[in-house]
Amino acid sequence: MTIAETLLGLLEPAPRHGYDLRREYDAQFGERRPVKPAQVYATLGRLARDGDIHVVSVEQVGGPERTTYALTPDGVTRLERWLAEPEAHTAYLQSVIFTKVILALRSGRPADRILDAQRTAHTAAMRELLRRKSGADLTTVLSCDFTIFHLEADLRWLEHTAARLDKLAKELS
């Protein structure tokens, strides 16, 4: 998920201030993909420069300036194109965990400790997500499920790798 396209999607229903966009971004996506205020404003600047949004108004009422942005037809086209494009497959073969396992085995360190620590961390994260799902709204449930399913896949990989550490160590030596 890119910040630019996400902001376009949040702007689509109605013109909004940067502050309001960040607040809604945080409410919908911030837990999984936090964004800094500077990222939001820099992205809005690029979107305006590229013609995907335009400034509707600039107000100042007892505080900092509030710029209201609106989507342009080019911005709608960009958003529609992004929504329609399937995401590219991401190969997880070079994940940090994989790298740690390989480096541990190459150095003679016990790679099973890395896998055990990761398994413990993933299990704790899953427990927390399951707790959060209890009584939550559907958006929160689906967001938690997305992460839980990825953690489950990671746990399967950890088990799969743990069962093959001896063979992998021999191949690397």
Report pLDDT digits (tens) over 33-66: 778 989 999 999 999 999 999 999 998 888 888 8
pLDDT of residue 127: 96
Q: Which domain holds residue 32?
A: 3-84
- pTM reported for the whole predicted model: 0.66
Last residue of a domain, one of 30, 64, 84: 84
Cα 16 from Cα 77, distance rounded (Å):
19
Sign of the Cα torsion 138, 82, 38, 129 reads: positive
Same domain, 47 and 106: no
- Average pLDDT of span 73-89: 84
Same domain, 70 and 103: no
**12 or 33: which carries more pLDDT confidence?**
12
Amino acid (one-letter) located at 3: I
pLDDT of residue 2: 83
Same domain, 79 and 116: no
Same domain, 14 and 48: yes
